[in-house]
Structure 1
Amino acid sequence: MSFARELARRALSIRLETAPPEAARIGRRAFADTLGVALAGSDASSLDALEAVLDIGAAPSQATLWGRGGRRASVLHAGLVNGTAAHALDFDDCSTTMGGHPSAPVVPVVIALAEMTGATAGKALEAWMTGVEVETRLARGLLPHHYEKGWHPTATLGVFGATAAAARMLDLNEEQMTTALAVAVSMASGLKSNFGTPVKPLHVGQAAHNGILAALVTRRGITANPEAFEHNYGFFNLFNGAGTYDADAILNGWDGPMEVLEPGIAIKQHPCCGSAHSAIDAALRIVAREGLLAAEAIERIDIRTHERRLAHTNRPEPRSGLDAKFSVQFLTARALTCGQIRLADFDDATFLTADLARLLPRVEATGHQAPDAYLGRLQVVMKDGRIFEDSASTRFGRGPSNPMSDAELRAKFTDCAAPSLGEVKAGAAFDTILSLADDDRLDVVMALVAGEEA
């Protein structure tokens, strides 16, 4: 039996009625968080370019474009635009297994198809569980080599999560899901060379778009090679290489805890690359003890993070607000001197203040190879001779061991969504998502997002 068939069979075994209730609760929080960060990212200039190029006004109006003035588009275009918006600020949830962002390629797919089909919240949650399970299980057998080779797993694996979620929303059977996954093999893409540019979030929009496309064309009868994963010229051998993947690790263990429960989904507290969060948190621990540090009083800052994390966060001279989101030097210095990292810190016109510009040449980042790949160590040497040191190990966000409360998540959502919706509607949208019953539809949430009266 082909790998795609085996994966499809396992994906179809996920059922809302047999899943632990905690999985559905986490799913509602993931929907809220993804929608919130997408609303915050909905004014990115790249989205204007997408709308113009796609000529969205001429396409069928099947689904809402989040935060785009109530405009609607085809489900394919909504997946592309909303998926891009969801990752535009790099503030979306994370998976340590996946080495990326599980919900951004999946939630836009599920919501767009729910709008098109009138599906219930319960079905949408089941599809989200399926999509996240598929992409993270693939990561079990492909990482770390897949990531270290230069692929962007949120896109290259997220396309399969998007496809599996779309297949569930469209009620595809096992044979059809097998085909859809094989179709998606030819649609996987996303390179780390474009981290720190608007192309990185476009990877995610493309994954969402391609997942919907793979499922829709399969439903229309397209066929593909069911051995597209394991073929000599298939996904495993081309994207990873012989001897660098383990298909059994992907297919085994589906009768154990779901990935969304263990190790779980981590919600980002800081609106920047997760690989810098340990250094940021170490800086905030120093601030909690010593108070804010004046930039002009700092002699030097020494940062040590795992070489795997440093590879894409070693940006001593960030050139834009987006680039600064991936600069461990900028982010650590900002945390030490300001005590927090906020969305407003990455405005292109104001992100590099005069004091930070003078401080950055005195910030050095080096890599370590400690067993804890998330460990960040920090030493700050002051001009008066004092030395402050601390460390932290933050796995990209607040996960099950230190979860954000609903109140904290609501505050994050409101901060993200209020510029688009206003605080009242933002709060109402959050509360509505978290209280959705399985047989509710998503219309009321989309009405709020579109700026309509619910």
Structure 2
Amino acid sequence: MALTQELGEFVAGVAARGAPPATHAVAKTGFIDSIATMIAGRREDAVRTAHAALSPLAGGPARLWFGDAQAGAADAALLNGMAAHALDFDDVSLRGHPSAVLMPAIVALAQERGATGRAMLDAYVAGFETWGELVDRESGIHHMKGWHPTGVFGAVGAAAACACLLGLDARRASHALGLAASQSAGLMSNFGSMAKPFHAGRAAQAGVLSARLAAAGFTASPDALEHPQGFLAAISPAGNVDRESPADTLGRQWRIEARGLNLKKYPTCYYTHRAIDALLALLARQPVDAGEVASVEVTMSREHATVLRNHRPGDALAAKFSIEFAMASALVAGKVGMAQLDDGFVRSAPVQDLFARVHVSFAAAYDPDTPGAAFADQVVVRTRGGAVHASEPVHHALGHAQRPLPAAMLREKFLDCLHAGGATQGGEALFTQLLSLEHQSANGLQVLQLPDANHDSSTEIPCGS
């Protein structure tokens, strides 16, 4: 059986039989974390601009950012997906940001259909596993070719999730995947701009549209994913992609259990996190005045350094993809939080002055379990007085699936992010509901009272700082 059809069979099987409880536990964390970052991110310029450009929105049953405003499922998936990814504070796995795509698509369609929380969790698992099956067939690094995997694989993963939620049979589910593959997009060159969160939102929207079209009888090629001119071949960096092996572990070995989700402690590109952990731990052990720093050397992989393309960022959007900013923020402020992801702080003299003193060297040892990653990242700080301070190597950042955030820290991040998004009430109730999502319904979840993001001028509360 061809891969596209195998994945269609798998998605239909999850819809019919459900996914194991252990997979639901990981999926719930994805919902919690991405809903938090979505509500915090709704005030970002990219989201406000897109909302204004699309207004007036047609009415519908799907809620924008869990607030009073409602729209059709496709529009809600787009705007909610943009908000979930706008801060770059959302979780990481499968070489991308799965929850920022899967959650908005699932929630929007689930609210439209009045779906159960259990069905939402099954849909998330179906989307995650489909995404993982495709990304694991590639030996190259998509980032190095210029692809943003969140937008590229996210569209197909979201289509799988939505097809599962709609209960499509195998044939129509495979058509949904093929339709989504033709909508996959996202370029590395747009990192540090409003277009990056658009990749996530557009992928979520594509998932909704593809599943709906397939449900109505709209078709795609039965081999859209594995064809020599199909999805996998088209996006492969060097053509070293497996288009032919059977997907014989689907439904027997669950990637979501084995890999989990890596949650972000800092609202910057995940490739900065190990170095931030290393430097903050070093500074806790040996305080260093930023003005006395002669140089900061960061050892990381060439692939990760390539993604961190902004060496002298001039605003907060660009700073998210700058190892120079991450190190400068840790040295100047002693933290890298939402309060530091501010244009004024990024442009301040102490921060800008440090950029030229941050240097990257490439690691020789790579992590066999994480393509493109060094085995560990490390930071060495040299002072003007000649002192040399070396951090411990960091293999997993705090928040990694192998080094998870404590439950109290996850709750704190959730509530801080809701506060940052203007939700001063209802956060505790929503968090409690999401902890038992399998016993809830999409339309029974807490509705938050949110001020108008396009006109609210209240002071934002730092999220995750």
1:148 aligns with 2:144: yes
- The answer for the alignment partner of 1:170 in structure 2 is 166
Unaligned 5+ residue runs, structure 2? 368-372, 452-465
- The answer for the alignment partner of 1:331 in structure 2 is 326
Q: TM-score with structure 2 length normalisation?
A: 0.90
CA deviation vs aligned residue, 1:118-145 (integer Å, no higher than 9, x gap): 0000000000111111112211002434
CA deviation vs aligned residue, 1:35-79 (integer Å, no higher than 9, x gap): 00011110112222222322343x132211106x62111100000
- The answer for the alignment partner of 2:339 in structure 1 is 344
Cα offset, 1:303, TM superposition: 1.2
Opposite residue 411 of structure 1, the aligned amino acid is E
- The answer for the alignment partner of 1:362 in structure 2 is 357
Unaligned 5+ residue runs, structure 1? none
Q: Following the alignment from structure 2 to structure 1, what is the Cα–Cα distance between the partners of residues 281 and 245? A: 38
- The answer for the alignment partner of 2:180 in structure 1 is 184
Q: 1:423 to 1:52 in 2, by over 3 A?
A: closer
Q: Following the alignment from structure 1 to structure 2, what is the Cα–Cα distance between the partners of residues 128 and 109? A: 10
Please report the RMSD computed on the Cα atoms of aligned residues, expressed in angstroms: 2.1
Give yes or no for contact 2:15–2:167 (8 Å, CA) kept in 1: no
Q: Following the alignment from structure 2 to structure 1, what is the Cα–Cα distance between the partners of residues 416 and 245? A: 40
- The answer for the alignment partner of 1:127 in structure 2 is 123
- The answer for the alignment partner of 2:91 in structure 1 is 93
SS of residue in 2 equivalent to 1:346: coil
Give yes or no for contact 1:16–1:126 (8 Å, CA) kept in 2: no
Opposite residue 295 of structure 1, the aligned amino acid is A
Percent identical: 33
- The answer for the alignment partner of 2:203 in structure 1 is 207
Cα offset, 1:382, TM superposition: 0.9
Q: 1:18 to 1:56 in 2, by over 3 A?
A: same
1:263 aligns with 2:259: yes
CA deviation vs aligned residue, 1:274-315 (integer Å, no higher than 9, x gap): 011111111012012113x22111111111210000002142
Counterparts in 2 of 1:23-102, with a 5 A limit?
Answer: 23-57=23-57, 59-66=58-65, 70-95=68-93, 98-102=94-98
Q: 1:270 to 1:122 in 2, by over 3 A?
A: same
**Out of 302, 306, 309, which is 1:311 matched to?**
306
Q: Following the alignment from structure 1 to structure 2, what is the Cα–Cα distance between the partners of residues 21 and 114? A: 20
Opposite residue 430 of structure 2, the aligned amino acid is A
**Out of 270, 292, 296, which is 1:301 matched to?**
296
CA deviation vs aligned residue, 1:372-392 (integer Å, no higher than 9, x gap): 324212110011221100143
Cα offset, 1:88, TM superposition: 0.2
Q: Following the alignment from structure 1 to structure 2, what is the Cα–Cα distance between the partners of residues 201 and 425? A: 26
Q: Following the alignment from structure 1 to structure 2, what is the Cα–Cα distance between the partners of residues 405 and 15? A: 32
- The answer for the alignment partner of 1:247 in structure 2 is 243
- The answer for the alignment partner of 2:403 in structure 1 is 402
Q: 1:88 to 1:385 in 2, by over 3 A?
A: same
- The answer for the alignment partner of 1:275 in structure 2 is 271
Give yes or no for contact 2:325–2:346 (8 Å, CA) kept in 1: no
Opposite residue 65 of structure 1, the aligned amino acid is L
- The answer for the alignment partner of 2:390 in structure 1 is 389
Shifted more, 299-308 versus 334-343: the winner is: 334-343
Shifted more, 297-306 versus 145-154: the winner is: 145-154
Give yes or no for contact 2:181–2:225 (8 Å, CA) kept in 1: yes
Cα offset, 1:241, TM superposition: 6.4
Q: Following the alignment from structure 1 to structure 2, what is the Cα–Cα distance between the partners of residues 156 and 396? A: 25
CA deviation vs aligned residue, 1:67-95 (integer Å, no higher than 9, x gap): 6x621111000000000111001111111
Q: Following the alignment from structure 2 to structure 1, what is the Cα–Cα distance between the partners of residues 244 and 99? A: 24
Q: 1:16 to 1:231 in 2, by over 3 A?
A: closer
Counterparts in 2 of 1:194-233, with a 5 A limit?
Answer: 194-233=190-229
SS of residue in 2 equivalent to 1:262: helix
- The answer for the alignment partner of 2:440 in structure 1 is 440
Q: Following the alignment from structure 2 to structure 1, what is the Cα–Cα distance between the partners of residues 412 and 50? A: 30
Q: 1:81 to 1:253 in 2, by over 3 A?
A: same
